[in-house]
A = this chain, B = another copy of it.
Amino acid sequence: MKIGIVGAGALGLYYGALLQRGGQEVRFLLRRDHDAIRDQGLRVTSPAGDFHLEQVQGFRDPAAMGQVDLVLVGLKTFANPHLAELIEPLLGPKTCILTLQNGLGNEELLARLFGAERVLGGIAFLCSNRGAPGVVHHLDQGRIRLGEFRGGHSLRAATLAETFRQAGLECEAVADLCKARWEKLVWNIPFNGLCALTGATTAELLAHGPSRAQVRALMDEVVAAANAQGLSAPIDAGFAERMLRVTEGMGPYRPSMMIDRQEGRPLELEAIYAIPLARAKDKGVEMVRVRLLHALLEVGEKTRD
């Protein structure tokens, strides 16, 4: 399968590298890493074993990449206004687009731009960072849950999941992508925002009783909003507590939004906060604490400008 990686940050580089090692023909759209990868290939460090790809197809210009079977989108959502120009040149008549971006609204945007029938979405549970140019660090996990934007099971979703599994990843195709996205938000909404705002790691938030209680209260708000969305089945009552325990197992983790703020990048506030808040409100659910958190994160963005 020819796969084009659009948004080759820590996520795109890591998954693209695994897919290439697993036998797929991968083409990376690159900026920062272009020259390093051309000269030295792509190096992956991982607790599962480091590896190095000597020959990597890297491009600066999407027009030079040619048509692919699958576009894998790993772009930060604040760059979504560039999606049209970056993806258009890669599309043939049957090209699928799989977005592994954070939050809500990404599949809808891709569907408006390129047609709903092309679009799949996935949720990535991945801890990875970019290293020096040409190097990506895999820290932990990597599991993907993917599904059709229009819902239900499909042969192509099952085939994609199999392709990821052959590359060495845990991957499952799900019928209710919407539920999977909301489940991920139960983690992303509290931890991304609170860590970005306070500068505390996930472990520090959980070690302190009052902030741990607020993480849990934020999770409960998200679960209530999710369960008002008409999911195939509600998120169960024990889900939030399981997420807390999983997070404790991750140690002093720095969520992506915390790293974005520390490194002076914009935050993914639209996809992770504004759209979920609007979808909740549409169903009559006001997420009081989430709205406060969103407003405080936004103020930081305004004063940063």
On A, residues with C-beta under 8 Å from B are 194, 197-200, 204-205, 207-208, 210-211, 213-214, 217, 288-289, 291-296, 298-300, 302-303
Complex interface: chain B residues within 8 A of A205 (CB):
299
Given A213-B295, A288-B288; 5 other pairs, CB 8 A cutoff: A198-B296, A198-B299, A204-B303, A211-B299, A288-B289
With both beta carbons as reference points, the residue of chain B lying nearest to A194 in the complex is identified as: B296
For the complex formed, measure the closest distance between the CB of A196 and the CB atoms of chain B, giving whole angstroms.
11
For the complex formed, measure the closest distance between the CB of A296 and the CB atoms of chain B, giving whole angstroms.
5
Inter-chain CA distance A205–B296, complex, in Å, is: 9
Q: Is the CB of A208 within 8 A of B289?
A: no
For the complex formed, measure the closest distance between the CB of A61 and the CB atoms of chain B, giving whole angstroms.
38
Inter-chain CA distance A196–B288, complex, in Å, is: 21
Complex interface: chain B residues within 8 A of A199 (CB):
300, 303
Inter-chain CA distance A288–B298, complex, in Å, is: 20
Inter-chain CA distance A289–B245, complex, in Å, is: 25
For the complex formed, measure the closest distance between the CB of A142 and the CB atoms of chain B, giving whole angstroms.
29
Q: Is the CB of B293 within 8 A of A292?
A: yes
Q: Is the CB of A204 within 8 A of B289?
A: no
Complex interface: chain B residues within 8 A of A299 (CB):
194, 198, 200, 204-205, 208, 211
Complex interface: chain B residues within 8 A of A291 (CB):
210, 214
For the complex formed, measure the closest distance between the CB of A91 and the CB atoms of chain B, giving whole angstroms.
37
